[in-house]
Chain A
Amino acid sequence: EDKVVQSPLSLVVHEGDTVTLNCSYEVTNFRSLLWYKQEKKAPTFLFMLTSSGIEKKSGRLSSILDKKELSSILNITATQTGDSAIYLCAVEEVEYGNKLVFGAGTILRVKS
C-alpha cells in the first residue's frame, strides 16, 4: 500500500530559526511530490517536485527531492510567526495521475 510519512509530527521554534521538514514515500510509479501549507482550512500549494536534485525556492521556503532516497525536505529560513501552520506532503503516481496521497502533516508553531 502506498505510504507517505512526514516527520517530525510537530515542531515548536522561535522566530528567526531555520527548520527542515521531512517527507518520505513509498509508491509504485512516482510522478511528483507536492508540498502544501494549511493554516486554517484550505491547504495552499507551495511546490511541485518531479526531478531529483533540483531545488525549488520561493522566498524563505525551499524544497528538494531525492528520488534515490525516496524523500523530500522543505526548508524554511528566518521563520516568522506567519509560518505557523500544518505542512502537508503529497505524492502522485503515474498510473493514478489525478490522485494525491497525503502524509499526516507536520504542525509547525513559530513563537515570537
Chain B
Amino acid sequence: ETGVTQTPRHLVMGMTNKKSLKCEQHLGHNAMYWYKQSAKKPLELMFVYNFKEQTENNSVPSRFSPECPNSSHLFLHLHTLQPEDSALYLCASRVDRGTYGYTFGSGTRLTVV
C-alpha cells in the first residue's frame, strides 16, 4: 500500500447513475489531485486541491464534481457519465511543493455502460 487509499477499486455504472469515488491519505500531505488515465494516453490532470482549496480545474466536464472536505479526503462525484469516461481514475497527494513527487493511490477502474 502506498498510503493513499482509493475506493472502490472497480466500478461499473450506467449513464444515468450517480456514484462517488473516494480518496484518503494520512501522510500529512496538503495537496491532492485527481488524474484520469485512458488507454495509450498520458495521465490527464483533472483537479488540484491545495489546503482544501481547489486551485485548478483542467477544463473538466461538469459531470465530474470534486469535493475536498479536509486535507485527508478527496471525492470525485460522478453523474450522467458517457462511455468515453471509462478509464482508470488515480488520486495522488503531495506535500505542497515538496521534493518528492506525488504518492499515488491504486486507482479506481471505472466502466460506464
Instruction: Spell out A's residues near B (CB within 8 Å).
Output: 4, 34, 36, 40-45, 48, 88, 90, 96-105
A99 to B33, CA, bound (A): 9
- A44 with B104: CB separation less than 8 A: yes
Closest chain A residue to B96 by CB distance?
A98
A38 to B32, CA, bound (A): 19
- B88 with A98: CB separation less than 8 A: no
| Residue from A98, A102, A104 in contact with B48 in the complex, judged by beta carbons closer than 8 Å | A98
Stretch among B14-22, B35-43, B62-70, B72-80 lining the A interface: B35-43
- B100 with A102: CB separation less than 8 A: no
- B90 with A43: CB separation less than 8 A: yes
- A98 with B50: CB separation less than 8 A: yes
Contacts of B106 in A (CB 8 A): 40-42
Closest chain A residue to B1 by CB distance?
A42
- Which residues, 17 to 60 on B, are CB-close (under 8 Å) to A? 31, 33, 35, 40-43, 45, 48, 50, 55-56
A105 to B43, CA, bound (A): 9
A40 to B4, CA, bound (A): 15
- B45 with A45: CB separation less than 8 A: no
- A41 with B107: CB separation less than 8 A: yes
Contacts of A105 in B (CB 8 A): 42
A41 to B81, CA, bound (A): 22
Q: How far does the Cβ of B57 sit from chain A's closest Cβ, in whole Å?
A: 12
